[in-house]
Amino acid sequence: MVASRFPLVPVLALAAIVLMTACRTIPPPAPHNPPAPPPPLPQAPLPPSATMTLRDYLKQQLGPGFHVRAEWAGTDPAYRPQPYRYRVWAPIGVVRVVTIHHAEMHVWTDTAAMIRAIFRDHTREDGRLDAADVGYHFLVDEAGQVWEGRDAGRVGTHVGSHPPGQNNPGNLGICGLGSFLWEEPPRVMVERIVTLTALIARYYGRPLIVRGHRDWGGIHGAPIGGTSCPGKLERAVVLAEEKMRETYPPGGVAAGGIATSGASVGGAAGVGPARVSTTPASIWD
Ligand SMILES: [Zn+2]
């Protein structure tokens, strides 16, 4: 019998050893211009559950890279939202836009202290802003850490708040912590803002318009371009728009029946606020 003279198991083991030895001699393929890895997310992106708030979803997705408000505001009553100081403390409405800013201030080594300084600036009672809280909903530091600002369920005071205007309903504000008029923003900050914007869109289940602050009209009386913000952080606007278009291809229809054509996802430059659906009558009166 052939089988008894050449037992099958030893023959297969020998073949496996020969094969493994041969595999080790084959060099791995050379990488083809490998891009630098993005900052890793601690968990794979998951769709949000029906009962999750945006804060909970970002905490889940960004893990220790997301800092809740208490991490910079602590328990000091001076850093609580103060709705009575500003007439705009209304629900944000249907979120359709994300606007990117830079803080236009030098970076502090203590990020929490830096955010408290921004809070004091925005809530200062001098007739300039007199805001109820820090104007932005999220702030991203040079290490790509995301910090929670104003409650994402409340309308912000980050665009057109000088003077108060119609630009903030449905508009989440993200601020890069630094001054990028002349300096390039850190790559990790840009990438994390893009990720944050994509996660926000995923949470709401629809494409969002992405803008830089200067893409809005009515700022300092200018029809458009009344500010230089966000400076070179405009790079994050461009990349976030690209990612939005990849996720929601033009011509498709996303959840909720919102068309994902260029008209709704669209480029930032030259886009006036008329394309943003707001509900000013119920919020600003
Ligand atoms: Zn700005």
Sign of CA dihedral 153, 98, 120, 144: positive
Question: Per 3-state DSSP, what percentage of the chain is helix, strand, and coil (rounded to 5)?
Answer: 35, 10, 50
CA pair distance 215, 93, nearest whole angstrom: 21
- The model's pLDDT over 85-132, given as tens digits with 9 standing for 90+, comes to 665 578 899 999 999 999 999 999 999 999 999 999 998 877 667 788
pTM attached to this predicted model: 0.72
Ligand 1 center to residue 54 CA distance, Å? 22
Ligand 1 center to residue 135 CA distance, Å? 10
Of 15-19, 80-84, 191-195, give the lowest mean pLDDT range.
15-19
How confident is the model at residue 155, as a pLDDT?
A: 87
Q: Which residues of 214-246 are buried (b: 16+ CB within 10 A; e: fewer)?
A: bbbbbbeeeeeebbebbbbbbbbbbbbbebbbe
Task: Kindly indicate the confidence band of residue 12, based on its pLDDT and cuts at 50, 70 and 90.
Answer: low
CA distances from 226 to 33, 139, 267, 271 (A): 40, 22, 18, 13
CA distances from 130 to 23, 88, 117, 162 (A): 69, 10, 14, 10
Report the alpha-carbon angle 206-209-213, nearest 5. 145
* CB 133 within 8 Å of CB 123: yes
- The model's pLDDT over 201-235, given as tens digits with 9 standing for 90+, comes to 999 999 999 999 988 876 666 666 678 999 999 99
Ligand 1 center to residue 100 CA distance, Å? 7
Ligand 1 center to residue 258 CA distance, Å? 27
How confident is the model at residue 39, as a pLDDT?
A: 56
How confident is the model at residue 49, as a pLDDT?
A: 79
Mean of pLDDT values over 154-167: 72
Ligand 1 center to residue 229 CA distance, Å? 5
Ligand 1 center to residue 86 CA distance, Å? 19
Of 163-172, 227-236, 243-252, give the lowest mean pLDDT range.
163-172
Closest CA to 204 of 278, 128, 152: 152
Ligand 1 center to residue 92 CA distance, Å? 18
Ligand 1 center to residue 224 CA distance, Å? 13
Contacts of 155 (CB under 8 A, 6+ apart): 88, 89, 90, 91, 92, 93, 168, 169, 171, 283
How confident is the model at residue 284, as a pLDDT?
A: 24
Helix (H) or strand (E) segment spanning residue 100? strand 97-102
How confident is the model at residue 216, as a pLDDT?
A: 85
Round the average pLDDT of the chain to a whole number and report it: 76
Ligand 1 center to residue 225 CA distance, Å? 11
Mean of pLDDT values over 240-267: 61
Q: For residue 179, how many other CB atoms are within 10 A of its CB?
A: 17
Ligand 1 center to residue 150 CA distance, Å? 15
Sign of CA dihedral 113, 135, 152, 234: negative
CA pair distance 283, 87, nearest whole angstrom: 9
Ligand 1 center to residue 101 CA distance, Å? 4
Ligand 1 center to residue 159 CA distance, Å? 7
Ligand 1 center to residue 271 CA distance, Å? 16
* CB 181 within 8 Å of CB 121: no
